[in-house]
Amino acid sequence: MTVQQLMEQGGFTAAALPEGDREVSGVYIGDLLSWVMGRAGAGEAWITIMSNRNIVAVAMLADTACILLAEGVQPDEGVAALAEEKGVNILCSPHSAYETALRLRDAL
Amino acid sequence: MSEGLSFHFDVDGDSFTSAGQASVQVKKDLRRLGVDPEIIRRVSIAMYEGEINMVIHAHGGHAEVRVTEQAVEIILEDRGPGIADIEQAMQAGFSTAPDAIRSLGFGAGMGLPNMKRYTDHMDIQSTVGVGTRITMRVDLPQ
Ligand SMILES: Nc1ncnc2c1ncn2[C@@H]1O[C@H](COP(=O)(O)OP(=O)(O)OP(=O)(O)O)[C@@H](O)[C@H]1O
Ligand SMILES: [Mg+2]
């Protein structure tokens, strides 16, 4: 399933979707960036509530398929534009991290 | 690639928001050289953690990345406060990161352990009041 399809099926919105046809291989949930760096797999959707610009670098370097901001969180000012420029997908979910994860489970 | 290539970066200690730029550039360079994606990912993660540490804990520094046919070597050097107890710093969960930095998602105390885990060799030389020099190596498949 691609990030674009995941967005449509999960009822999420896009803050930045420069690589919508990237395949999603799984899910990682976490807010501590070094945990994400160490544990998230390449191609996974990363559920977090962290919205500052450092998430863009983490997603690029850990090579996740997309950032999925849960709990109705929106990216901080300038972060969506940065993500767009760097080729990092950011989706937004109005639901809790748990509910968001359940939707991913159903979709994937 | 046979004669070896090296890249040099200044890591700005003041601009926290652009932290990670050197790692992102290295990732691009390695991709252009046709290095295996999983190797690139390991180098990127190890370098990012080291780069962020220089920004958070040492007011910036220098990074050098050397690519040969055998390995990718990363050398990170700063003139920060140094690390008093390296063994303690290497422990998962140990962090001296201030609250403002923690609120950005850093400070889990997992950076140095990640650097160790994702590289084939890692060496830390540090003197309190002088600075820190970290060398990491990721071997390339032969
Ligand atoms: N370049 C450095 N100069 C001085 N101290 C350092 C340096 N790098 C690491 N340290 C010390 O080692 C500790 C552990 O580093 P580590 O990267 O594992 O965790 P962290 O940076 O605190 O949190 P995280 O990496 O999980 O965001 C730091 O909190 C800091 O005290
Ligand atoms: Mg760190």
Residues in Cβ contact with A20 at an 8 Å cutoff, skipping those fewer than 6 apart:
A2, A3, A4, A7, A14, A89
Confidence band, pLDDT 50/70/90 cuts, at residue A72: very high
Q: B35-48 burial, b if ≥16 CB within 10 A, otherwise e?
A: beeebbbbbbbbbb
Cα B47 to Cα A58: distance, rounded to the nearest angstrom: 12
Cα A107 to Cα B92: distance, rounded to the nearest angstrom: 34
B97: left (phi over 0), alpha (psi -120 to 50) or beta: beta
| ipTM, 2 dp | 0.90
Contact A61 B19 (CB under 8 A): no
Please work out whether the CB of residue B96 comes within 6 Å of at least one atom of ligand 1.
Answer: yes
Q: What's this model's pTM, rounded to 2 decimal places? A: 0.94
Three-class DSSP category at B98? coil
Read off the pLDDT of residues B78-95 as tens digits, 9 standing for 90 and up: 999 999 999 999 999 999
When CB atoms are compared, the residue of A38, A54, A61 closest to B104 is A54
Domains in chain B: ranges and CATH: 5-139 (3.30.565.10)
Burial of A42 (0-12, 13-18, 19+ CB in 10 A): middle
Question: What is the CATH code for A3-107?
Answer: 3.40.1390.20
Task: Kindly report the backbone phi and psi dihedral angles of residue A58, in degrees, each rounded to the nearest multiple of 5, phi listed first.
Answer: -60, -45
Q: Delimit the domains of chain A by residue range.
A: 3-107
